[in-house]
Amino acid sequence: MPIKSFQEGIIDLIYKGATSSKKIRRVLTSFGGVFFLGIVFMIYLSFQMDRLLGFPKLIPGSYDLFISLPFLITGFCMWLWSVWKFMKAKGAPVPFNPPPKLVVDGPYAYMRNPMMLKLR
């Protein structure tokens, strides 16, 4: 029997979670939300660490806010729209609690996973 790769193991774990009972899916969805908030906190912590260590800013002055604000607003609106479509379909964007039917309207009409938008 061949040994599974790490990626296959993660995919199997997500599949088992997504096809388990509603109670287990609800717990795993909460865990996914906490994991997401942990990633956001780590990003915040990295900015504080940069400031503590005295690293120079990439863009001097307050230009960084004016450059990043349109991207942040666009990304946040795309995220909200995607989450709303999942909730409307009685699911969650966390892989452990997918909606019972495929979401194909809104931003999902144009791309497979708009919350993971990757520009080429």
Contacts of 75 (CB under 8 A, 6+ apart): 117
Is the pTM above the cut of 0.85? no
First and final C-alpha spacing in the chain: 38
Please, what is the angle between helix 6-18 and helix 22-53, to 10°?
130
Residue 2 has pLDDT above 70, yes or no: no
In this predicted structure, the answer to whether residue 41 has a pLDDT above a threshold of 90 is yes
**What is the domain partition of the chain in residue ranges?**
6-116
* pLDDT, tens only, 97-111: 778 888 888 888 887
